[in-house]
Structure 1
Amino acid sequence: MYRPKTTLEQWRILQAVVDNGGYAHAAAALNKSQSSLNHAVAKLQNQLGVQLLEVRGRKAFLTEAGEVMLRRSRHLTQNVQELESLADNINQDWEPEITVALDLAYPKSHFYPVLKDFLPESRGSRLKLIDTVLTGTEEAVTQGWADIVIGGSVPKGYLGEPIAEVSFVAVSSPDHPLAQLDGPIEASELLQHLQLVIKDTSQTPNEKQGWLKSELRWTVSHFQTAIELVMQNMGFCWLPYHTVESHIESGQLVPLDIQGSSFRITNMFMIHPRPDTLGPGSRHLSDLILSHRQITPLNEQIEQQNNEASHGDDPRRT
């Protein structure tokens, strides 16, 4: 069995000497005597058989070998620190890993500020972000493989907190035959054209949402692929407006005026598949998601209306 020649403390002392510009400042930072630091570094070099530092005047400088060894040693001490933090978190029941299932339609731009706030408070927990679609999102709830799920529907028997609204719009290339029609497009006309749909991530997809009656359908895994195919004048597709807004503004895509369904609005919900066993890390992440949600809860709407009424701002009184 391999026995290390060196100790973590020796590497930490070497790092302190370099980071503080010499033995004197490192000794003050570590609250140790300068002679003890000199002895620790000298012993480290003897044990390795490699000169790590050379003293010029009153300052110590890294040798070329020392630069390489120091860089690698930082990974070592950081890994140990993270390992010890993980042990503390486990003792405090803070989850070592948190899995979040995000429906592909949910705007990731809403989630990035959440992650930015969560990172410094994550206590070393690993975060797994899994993209899901339709039935695959529901399965993340019903099968319980995710700690937090953000999706467009709440399966029976579960509760969900609304956090955002997503508008879906049918689009095509401006050169597509559907874009050339005058007036609202009837469903019978759609039947004659290629429809691009996003693949359900479930192993047993249940196609119960959306209009899926075209004689010819192509299935893709991501919105970006669908957008690129539509811009190539290959067909039409219902897509979240936030994914195509810039393309519509630039004229690369046009929204289709479809009889009875020019656009659809879907609420996005945050769902806890196993609320009774939700860990403190997942609970904190959930609180951050709610603090960044893009939709006003009903209780806040009612409170706002009551405040306006109490201040005489209720328009029904005029």
Structure 2
Amino acid sequence: MYRPKSTVEQWRIFQAVVDSGGYAQAAETLSKSQSSLNHAVAKLQQGLGVALLEVKGRKAYLTPEGEVFLRRSRKLTQDMKDLELLADVLASGWEPILRIVVEASLPRQPLYHALADFAGRSRGCRIHLVEAQPTGCQAVVSKQAADLVFACRAFTGITSLPLATTVYVPVCAPEHPLAQLEEVTAHELEPELELILADGNEQEEGWERAEQRWIINHLHDTLSLLRRGIGFAWLPLEVVAPLIDSGLLTQLPMANQALRKRFTHLILPRATPPGPAASLLLTMIRHHYSDHEGSLPAS
């Protein structure tokens, strides 16, 4: 069985001697006797079988081998410090993991901005970000299997916050026959192939649907098929706007400027109140969704 030949304290003393320029200076910095420092470094070198320092006059100098070990030892002591800080963080109730589920059809730029802010203040909290279909979100909520769920619908008896309104527009490839029309009515959409970003059980909140339907699980697949001239789809305007501007997709000129809207609800499935990490992230999410809503043009 492997047995360490050194201790973290020995490496800490070794670093202090190097950083202070000698044993006497390091002894003063660490509030230890010079002889104890000499003994610790000597024992470290003896255990490794490698000379790390050489003393010239009153100063200690790194050997070439010592330079290599110094770099590696700094990571070791920093990792130890991080471990102990993590213990303090977890003891204070800070969550080690936050699980976030987002419904596939919802845009999520404000969430990304919130996560970017959270990253710098996460204190070691890990994020699990998962995309799901509507029934998947419902299952997660019923099982309380996530900390935060972004969905198009609220759930009875479950805490939810309305975050934003998303405008959906019909789009297709520029060469699609629908794109050649000066005006498109719901009647003209009925016989066309519609790509639906859902799982087949979702009723799309009463939206009228075309007779031909393909159910697509991921936004990326929907966009890829559309760009190849396959069908049309109702997608979030903020998602498809860059593709429309670049000419890769065309927004269909609907009669009476017919648009569809969905709300983004932030669901808190847990029966217990959110912990400190989740509460911090919630504050950031509400801030960014509020800013995002205010920056969108009126539809």
Same fold (TM over 0.5): yes
Distance in 2 (CA, whole Å) between partners of 1:217 and 1:106 is 18
What is aligned with 2:189? Answer: 190
The correspondence of residues 25-64 of structure 1 with structure 2, limited to 5 A, is: 30-32=30-32, 36-53=36-53, 58=59, 60-61=61-62, 63=64
RMSD: 3.1
* Counterpart in the other structure of 1:245: 241
Between stretches 9-18 and 41-50, larger displacement belongs to 9-18
Gaps of 5+ in 2: 294-299
2:202 is equivalent to residue 207 of structure 1: yes
Gaps of 5+ in 1: 298-318
Give the direction of change, closer, same or farther, for the CA distance of 1:48–1:262 in structure 2 (3 Å limit). Answer: farther
Letter in 2 for 1:195: E
Work out whether residues 151 and 269 of structure 1, in 8 Å CA contact, stay in contact via their aligned partners in 2: yes
Distance in 2 between residues matched to 1:291 and 1:43, nearest whole Å: 56
Change in CA separation of 1:216 and 1:271 when aligned onto 2, cut-off 3 Å: closer
C-alpha separation in 2, matches of 1:244 and 1:15 = 55
Structure-1 separation of matches of 2:56 and 2:221: 60
Is 1:217 the counterpart of 2:218? The answer is no
Following superposition, the deviation at residue 213 of structure 1 comes to: 3.5
- Find the counterpart in structure 2 of residue 266 from structure 1: 262
1:261 & 1:217 partners in 2: Cα distance? 25
Q: Which residue of 1 aligns with 2:250?
A: 254
Contact 1:163/1:295 (<8 A) preserved = no
Kindly indicate whether the alpha-carbon contact (under 8 Å) linking 2:52 and 2:63 is maintained by their aligned counterparts in 1. Answer: yes
Give identity over the alignment, percent.
40
Match of 1:153 in 2: 153
- Whether 1:234 and 2:235 are equivalent positions in the alignment is no
Shift of 1:158: 1.8
Counterpart code for 2:130: I
CA contact (8 A) 1:21 1:59 kept: no
Distance (Å, rounded) in 1 between the aligned partners of 2:241 and 2:27: 59
One-letter code of the match for 1:280?
P
Q: Residue by residue, what CA displacement relative to the aligned partner does 1:38-73 show, whole Å, maximum 9, x if unpaired?
A: 543332222111234456895634625742x44443
In 1, the alpha carbon distance for the partners of 2:44 and 2:159 equals 59
Provide the secondary structure at the position in 1 that maps to 2:290: coil
Decide whether the 8 Å contact of 1:101 with 1:149 is kept in 2: yes
CA distance in 1, matches of 2:175, 2:20: 67
Residues 285 and 75 of structure 1: CA distance in aligned 2, closer, same or farther (over 3 Å): same
Partner of 1:86: 86
Q: CA deviation at 1:13?
A: 3.2
CA 1:262 to 1:32, structure 2 compared with 1: closer, same or farther past 3 Å? Answer: farther
Check whether the contact 2:194–2:213 (CA below 8 A) recurs between aligned residues.
yes
Measured in 2, the distance between the counterparts of 1:123 and 1:53 equals 36
Q: CA separation of 1:261/1:145 partners in 2, compared to 1, >3 Å: closer, same or farther?
A: farther
Distance 1:49 1:262, change over 3 A: farther
Single out whichever of 69-78 and 26-35 deviates more from structure 2. Answer: 26-35
Rounded Cα–Cα distance in structure 2 between residues aligned with 1:12 and 1:211: 69
Question: How many residues get paired?
Answer: 289
CA deviation vs aligned residue, 1:267-289 (integer Å, no higher than 9, x gap): 21222112534322222222222
**Residues 101-124 of structure 1: CA deviation (Å, up to 9, x unaligned):** 223344433123322332343232
Partner of 1:77 in structure 2? 77
SS of structure 2 residue aligned to 1:276: coil
Say if 1:269 and 1:30 are closer, same or farther in 2 by CA, change over 3 A.
Answer: farther
Q: Are 2:178 and 2:184, in contact at CA under 8 Å, matched by a contact in 1? A: no
TM-score, length basis structure 1: 0.77
1:36 CA drift (Å): 4.7
Do the aligned partners of 1:17 and 1:26 also contact (CA within 8 Å) in 2?
yes
1:213-234, Cα deviation, whole Å (9 max, x unpaired): 3425252x43223222212222
**Quick check: 2:53–2:62 contact (8 Å CA) kept in 1?**
yes
> What is the CA–CA distance in structure 2 between the aligned matches of 1:262 and 1:140, rounded to whole Å?
33
